[in-house]
Amino acid sequence: MIAAVRESDAYANLLLPTRIQRAALNTADAAFATELTYGTLRMQGFYDRVIALAANRPVDKIDPAILDVLRLGTHQLLGTRVATHAAVNESVSLAKQVGSQSATGFCNGVLRTISRTSLEEWTVQVLAGIDSVDERLAAEFSHPSWVVRAFRQALRAEGRETELEDLLAADNMAAKVNMVALPGLATNDDLALLGQPDEFAPTGFVLDGGDPYHLMSESGGRVRVQDEGSQIAALALSRARPILAGERWLDLCAGPGGKAALLAAEARAGGAVLVANELVPARAALVRNALAALPEPIPVWEVDGTLIGATHPATFDRILLDAPCTGLGALRRRPEARWRKKPKDVADLAGLQSGLIDAALVALKPGGILAYVTCSPHTAETRAIVALAVKKSAGTVTHLDTAAIVQSFSAANLDLPGDTGSVQLWPHRHGTDAMFITLLQRAE
């Protein structure tokens, strides 16, 4: 699994469930495989520093397949309760399958060296000689330093910079399995299979146990896996004001379809109609699959979202723009993403994000509402994009009190400091992905 992520740019959260299902692992073994995979990928940066110290050589001088084995072994030694002898022996056996005899001996020696020192002592050694505060945090909490700086800036915008270490630590914790029950569609039998209701989203539940994908299949998609923050983002649009029968809604960048399914259920309950759009055909297929739970067919377009204003001006009462972004807000669930994303990605996406929000605002009817959403707290993908769009609108677009709207349907106080025109959710504060939500309204 680790090799597939490295060699093929596979996504662990997509590939691992399939691998587990094919291997027919029981619940305990599936949980262990998940912990090994996610834990190793999350802490890769820290573990590489430990391995380099123990091996007395840079990790880029180690055969990639053997490095995979060393990372897995290091996680078992420093991040789990696996017995030392079991972690070393299993790792050496794995090294024999992927490497030479000399590499096997090298792997054995490095892991035994690592096993003789505690996590706390390794942390001291790793941090020795690093003077920069952000570089030390990056090393200790296994994040790229540019991500640490971006998180610091986003927290500073709320006056919560002191929470940075809590945020970084939360990124390294396993995310809860969260489910959504589609309103008006989920049955009492469906709800009986779910666990504790979410703290904030009125449509959400934390799964106590069992296979979430089996529940999705058994319910026909009426209940499905969805982060609480994603639910809040969709509900901010659907519950911004009472729904009028006949309203037209658009989910502009709908893939993979989770928010579209929730919006479609909300629209159906209020007599509105939803259109979903997704440019990438493979993702459009995922949207159609997600929307299959709805009794009525939902149109799924495959058009360039930046052209929607030109082709459909003043057409929609509500638009959700879940903009393509770096995904830095979902590092708990996509552990390899922190090592793949680069600062250049933020700059490359800014033009697309701006083009999409400008087009969406033109596609709104007078008085219509746009929800601009990203699964990233990076200010260049969030506040900066919104501010530029509002400035270019020359007074025809205004902020709604997004914080008040979200609080109006939340089951508990969300603790939302700062600008009421936007909502920034956080894994360490809210237990959600770090979703950014802003509601904008076009003038009548």
Contact indicator for 356, 374 with CB cutoff of 8 Å: no
Name the 3-class secondary structure at 178. Answer: strand
Of residues 66, 59, 60, 51, the one with CA closest to residue 98? 66
Per-residue pLDDT tens over the stretch 340-356: 999 999 999 999 999 99
Is 255 within any annotated ligand binding site? yes
188 within domain boundaries: no
CATH of the domain at 406: 3.40.50.150
Of residues 304, 308, 410, the one with CA closest to residue 359? 308
Distance of CA 391 to the CA centre of its chain: 29
Please report which confidence band the pLDDT of residue 195 belongs to, taking 50, 70 and 90 as the band edges.
confident
CA–CA separation, 426 and 122 (whole Å): 29
Same domain, 111 and 234: no
- For residue 431, pLDDT over 90 is answered with yes
355 within domain boundaries: yes
Per-residue pLDDT tens over the stretch 117-156: 999 999 999 999 899 999 999 999 999 999 999 999 999 9
Is 257 within any annotated ligand binding site? yes
| Alpha helices for 145-280 (secondary structure H) | 145-156, 164-171, 188-192, 212-219, 228-238, 258-270
Residue with tokens 């945020």: 167
3 phi, psi to nearest 5 deg: -65, -40
Tell me how far CA of residue 350 lies from CA of 82, 344, 357, in angstroms: 44, 10, 11
Torsion of CA 412, 415, 421, 423, to 10 degrees: -80
CA–CA separation, 301 and 118 (whole Å): 55
Q: What is the β-pairing status of strands 300-301 and 248-251?
A: unpaired
Q: Classify residue 28 by its DSSP letter.
A: H
Of residues 268, 262, 309, 266, the one with CA closest to residue 287? 262
Amino acid residing at 195: G
Is 107 within any annotated ligand binding site? no
Is 304 within any annotated ligand binding site? yes
Q: How many CA atoms lie within 13 A of 120 on its CB side?
A: 0
Instruction: Please report the pLDDT score of residue 418 as a whole number.
Output: 67
Task: For Cα atoms 367, 267, 184, give the angle at the middle one, nearest 5 degrees.
Answer: 150
72 within domain boundaries: yes
Per-residue pLDDT tens over the stretch 291-336: 999 999 999 999 999 999 999 999 999 999 999 999 999 999 999 9
Is 48 within any annotated ligand binding site? no
Question: How far does the chain reach from its first CA to its final CA, in angstroms?
Answer: 53
211 within domain boundaries: no
CATH of the domain at 43: 1.10.940.10
| Alpha helices for 64-100 (secondary structure H) | 64-79, 84-98
202 within domain boundaries: no
Is 259 within any annotated ligand binding site? yes
Paired with 250 in beta bridges are 275, 319
Is 322 within any annotated ligand binding site? yes
Q: How many CA atoms lie within 13 A of 248 on its CB side?
A: 12
Same domain, 116 and 238: no
Per-residue pLDDT tens over the stretch 27-57: 787 888 889 999 999 999 999 999 999 999 9
CA–CA separation, 89 and 375 (whole Å): 40
Please tell me which residue in 375, 400, 405, 437 is annotated as part of the active site.
Answer: 375
Containing structural domain, residue 27: 2-120
Instruction: Please report the pLDDT score of residue 92 as a whole number.
Output: 94
Last-in-domain residue among 86, 101, 120: 120
CA–CA separation, 25 and 31 (whole Å): 9
Q: What percent of the chain has pLDDT over 70?
A: 99
- For residue 9, pLDDT over 80 is answered with no
CA–CA separation, 178 and 438 (whole Å): 23
- The token pair at 375 is 């699964």
Overall domain count for the chain = 2
214 within domain boundaries: no
335 within domain boundaries: yes
Last-in-domain residue among 120, 155, 186: 120
Instruction: Please report the pLDDT score of residue 240 as a whole number.
Output: 98
79 within domain boundaries: yes
325 is catalytic: no
Q: Classify residue 211 by its DSSP letter.
A: -
Mean pLDDT, range 275-279, rounded to an integer: 98
Q: What is the chain's mean pLDDT, rounded? A: 94
Last-in-domain residue among 80, 99, 120: 120
Count the Cβ atoms, other than its own, within 10 Å of residue 157.
18
Is 253 within any annotated ligand binding site? yes
CB burial string 120-149: b at 16+ within 10 A, e below? eebbeebeeeeeeebebbbbbbbbbeebbb
